[in-house]
Structure formats: structure tokens, C-alpha cells
Amino acid sequence: MKNTYFDLIDQSYYFPQEGFDLKNGNLTFHGISLKHLIDKYGTPFRFIYLPKIGDQIKKARNLFNRAIKKNNYKGKYHYCYCTKCNHFSHVVSEALKHNVHLETSSSFDIDLIINLLKDKKIDKKRTVICNGYKTIDYLKKIVALQEMGFTNIVVVLDSKTELERLMNAAGNNKIKIGMRMAINEEPQSSYYTSRLGIRSNELIDFFNEKIKDNPMVEFKMLHFFVDSGIKDSLYYWGEFKKALKIYIDLKKECDSLDSFNLGGGFPIRNNLGFEYDYEGIINEIIKNIKSACENDNVPEPDIYTEFGKYTVGESGAIIFKVLEKKDQNDAEIWYLIDNSLMNTIPDSWSIHEKFILLPVNKWENEYKRVNIGGISCDHSDYYNSEDLNQEVLLPNMNDDEEEPLYLGFFHTGAYQDAISGYGGIKHCLIPSPKHVIIDRDEKGNIIDYVYRNEQSFEEMFKILGYNK
């Protein structure tokens, strides 16, 4: 057994693999030299590789359409992108190039839709699915959007009380609505039933009492979302089949109902050994809906998904330099990086989410068990285990080497900017890193540019009320 970092990866996984390879001993990401980016932009920087967004959308859409054909399924598939996952204009615009519908989750999201309309990125026929808790402000904006001429807005009721608020806000507008079924969580969850949605055993009565004969609403969609992900587990299929049964029962009562929305939750690669049978799961979904509808003699619904993390997660990464190696005792070595993990990939700290972590250089060095530490003062600002490993193994940094070690956390494109409050006040005033956009032109040439420089102290001080 050899002991270089390269050998470790080579012996543990298939390598090179989709997106990751080595060139001249340094890591590349989708053919892009990370060393080149480091030399050009300096560290730390986060980047988004836009072409991956389209690849993901095309992949899911093709798989759904193939399964639809294979099963002779009568409904259509609709891909929605949920903006909450990554709101940046360049990200949403890239998804829209692939004709996705949009899912919103709060009042400002409706302003975002209006902005996209003004920029001619969407027209008024675009389907907009409004999820989330509906404040009065959010509802008023949704109604205003419909009054502007949007014809395909679906307001998904998150609770029973929302209908009354919606009716008060709607005036004379007839509104297309959906209902979200509250799921029961996985056994290890800290609560049993999700607060999101309407209890499954109340949906049918609620429909009969408040929706069926209500002339101001058109009931279109049943929505459910298993947030721990779409996976081939007894638990997932249990929730799925419960929702499907409710769909069928409602469909028997309601002609206008024609859409079954599976929410988000498609997984992404968070370790190099990741295996997931996207094709198999999608086929099972289509097959199950088809056979349940046939058994009960109801038409097969259109299927909607709202994939967030799946759409953008794998297009993002963040690159750090190791500033210092610190031996704190005989067994524990710390690699201190040039920003904070809590501030930049907050899910790694808050929900112990794992990302693919790889060194950019020094793959021929021996590997060592290390802890990665951020430069905030916080004890929790560290990363020392991986998805398939209780420890983090990285190339050793030898004292005689001039070149620093660079590390990348990959597939960080979903939620991290919003949750870390990109460009806002930061823990220990450690600035938001530089943000780089990478794209390819029609000929496949790489285009890269800075979207936003590292946050300056003036920007942060302005928020804090200094230097007015």
C-alpha cells in the first residue's frame, strides 16, 4: 500500500470521475484548472460553474420523459426551479434558459418574478408555484402578479387558515390553488409531523368543506415534499403512497385537479463514492403513479418537481488556502484556512452537511489525518469528518515546501450564500469571499470573471452604522 494522497483516492474511489480530474498534478473541475483560477484571483473565492445547471436540468427532464414514454404515461413532466436555493440573477437566468418553471417561497420572491419579467427572462405564461408561509404582503403581491396578467400562478396552501387570508386578498380574482400535504418525518427526526402543509387526514374534509364549492378558487395541485430526500427507502415510498392515495381520492371529487407535485429533495454528490440510481427512482415514481391511477380509474396527473439543491448544488465550490499547519498535540493537526467555514459553508456547521473536500495541489505528498479550522474565534468553526469517513485525510504540508496547500469544498452551490447572508455582517468580521462566475461560450471556451470582489470593511461598516 502506497501512502500518497493520490494513491489514497485512487484506491478508495473511481478517479478521475465526473467533474474531477488532475492536470499536471493539480485538480481540475469540469476541465477547469483550479490552480489557474487561484493564480488569477487569489484565495479565498467561491465560484459557480454555470453550464452544470443546464446539464442537471436536462438530465432530470430526459429521465422523466424517458420513463413517461416507457410506461406509456399520459401526464406531462414539469421541471420547476425553487429560487430559495440560489437567488443570484446569473443562476436563475441560467436555469430559465432551460425553460424551467419557478417556485417562490416569500414576498420578495414575487418582486424577483417581476424583475425577471421586466428583464424579459420570462413571460406571463410562465408557471409560478407559490409555496411557503403566506403573509398578507406575500398574498397581496401574488394577487397583483395575477392582475398583471400572469396566467399560471398556483398558490399552494400551507395551512387551512391560508385560504381565508387568500380570499381576503384576492378580491374578484379567481385563483388557482394547490394544497400541501404535511408529511410525517423520519423516525430519527426531533418531531413527528412537519409544520409545513395541512395534516394528511384533514385534506379531504377541508377540500369538501371549503374548496369544492368555492367559485373563487380552482383546485389544481396536490403537493408534498419529503425534505430528507427522494430515496429508495420504505419511509420515502410510505409518504409517497400516502400522498398518491390522497391525490386519487381528491381527483375523484375534483375535475380541475390535474397536477401532482413531488417537491424537491433529489440528492447530489457529496462524496466521491456517491451512487444513486436516478433513472431507477424516476421510473419507479412514474410506474407507481400510473398503476395507482389505472387501478382507480382516474387520469394520470402532470408531475411537477421543485429541485433546488439538485439544480445548482453541484455547480458551486469554494477554494481556500491553508495559512498554517498547527500541531496541537501528538495526534491532532490543524490546517487553518483563510476564511471561516461557519461563514461560508454554514450547513457544514449547523446541520453537519458534508461536501466533497479535495486538495487542489500536492497530490503526490503523503496523506495525513487533519482537522480543518476557520480563522474565526469560534470553537465550532471546524470540519473534520467526511460523508463516508469519520476523519479528514489530506496531503501533508512539508516545512520545506514554498507553495501553500489549497483546498476546495465542492458542490456547495445550494443554500450556502443565502444562509450565510452573503455580503452581510460576518462572524468576527471575516469578509464574504470573492465570487467568480465561470461559463463556456458556444465553442466551449471557458469564460471566467469576478462577479463581486471580497467584501470590504467599508461595506460591512456601512451595515453596522459606522462611517455614515
Q: Which is nearer to ligand PLP, 131 or 283 (CB)?
A: 131
* Closer by beta carbon to ligand PLP, 35 or else 309: 309
Q: What is the end-to-end Cα distance of the chain in Å, rounded? A: 62
> Residues 125 to 154: which contact ligand PLP by CB under 6 A?
131
Residue from the set 44, 75, 197, 264 that interacts with ligand PLP by CB under 6 A: 264
Query: Under the criterion CB under 6 A, does residue 308 sit at the interface with ligand PLP?
Result: yes
The helix/strand/coil state of 104 is strand
- E strands of 105-206, at which residues? 128-130, 153-157, 175-180
The full 3-state SS of 259-289, as one line of letters, equals EEECCCCCCCCCCCCCCCCHHHHHHHHHHHH
Q: Closest residue to ligand PLP, Cβ-based? A: 264
The reply on whether position 85 binds ligand PLP by CB under 6 A is yes
Binding mask 385-414 for ligand PLP (x = CB under 6 A): -----------------------------x
Q: Pick from 60, 82, 248, 394 the residue near ligand PLP by CB under 6 A.
A: 82
By CB under 6 A, is residue 182 in contact with ligand PLP?
no
> Is residue 178 near ligand PLP by the rule CB under 6 A?
no
311's grid cell: 439544480
Closer CB to ligand PLP, residue 26 or residue 194?
A: 194
334 in Cβ contact with 371 (< 8 Å): yes
> Which residues, 89 to 118, sit near ligand PLP by CB under 6 A?
103
Q: What is the largest CA-CA distance in the chain?
A: 79
Residues numbered 198 to 227 that lie near ligand PLP (CB under 6 A) are 225
For 195, phi and psi rounded to 5 degrees? -75, -10
The footprint of ligand PLP on this chain (CB under 6 A) covers a number of residues equal to 15
Residue 269 near ligand PLP by CB under 6 A: no
For 351, residues 6+ apart whose C-beta sits below 8 A from its C-beta are none
Whichever of 102 and 407 has its CB closer to ligand PLP, that residue is 102
**316 binds ligand PLP, rule: CB under 6 A:** no
Q: Which residues contact 221 (CB under 8 A, 6 or more apart)?
A: 129, 154, 156, 176, 177, 178, 179, 257, 259, 260, 261, 304
Non-local (6+) Cβ contacts of 108 within 8 A are: none
Residue numbers at the binding site for ligand PLP (CB under 6 A)? 82, 85, 103, 131, 225, 263-266, 306-310, 414
